[in-house]
Amino acid sequence: MARTKGSDKHSEAQERPELSMAEILTKDLKSSSVKEFLENELYIEEEDIAKFAEKVAKTTEVVRALMPVAALVWKLYRKDAAKILGLFGDVVNDISEDLHEKIVRGYHLNARLKRAKYDALIGADFTPDTAMQILLAEIKPTDYSSLLRSVNVQRK
């Protein structure tokens, strides 16, 4: 049976019962760029990678064994869990309301600092367009997709 991109390690272990979950993980770690990262960047030796894979496999088995219990707890107590999460949401909203004036004050301070920097750049003989480009270049993006692309770990 061919492995599809979405298939998991558990199904591979079922298809090939001669290999344990730890052996499959170890094999995958030894043949991937994850191994290179672990060895070259974190200085983890191959034996430790095998130990790590074994621990992950044991943890996975425990999690799978607990899934029916977690499902039952969720069915019995999901309304209580929703109330607790709602309470946390209320706390966050209350804190935001309490800090609103200070947050707005911070925005005003930030705006004054940016204006002062712009004026200083103009005073240092930059053109208004160049000064604005310098300020715009200092804005850090909040989109993390470029970070994710730079850490792209490809499986072989």
Q: Do residues 143 and 19 make contact, with C-beta atoms less than 8 angstroms apart?
A: no
pLDDT tens digit sequence for 43-93: 777 777 778 777 877 888 888 889 999 899 889 999 998 899 899 999 999
Any domain includes 30: yes
Tell whether 155 is covered by a domain.
no
- Give the count of domains, the chain: 1
Q: Report if residue 19 sits inside a domain.
A: yes
> pLDDT tens digits for 119-128?
999 999 999 9
Does residue 49 lie within any of the structural domains? yes
Say if 147 falls within a structural domain.
Answer: no
Residue 52 belongs to some domain of the structure: yes
C-beta contacts of 92-96 below 8 A and 24+ residues apart: none
Structural domain boundaries, residue 121: 9-142
AA identity, residue 120: A
pLDDT band of 105, cuts 50, 70, 90 = very high
Q: What is the band of 9 on the pLDDT scale with cuts at 50, 70, 90? A: very low
Sequence-distant (6+) residues with CB within 8 A of 57 are: 20, 21, 22, 25
The rounded distance, in Å, linking the Cα atoms of 70 and 60 is: 14
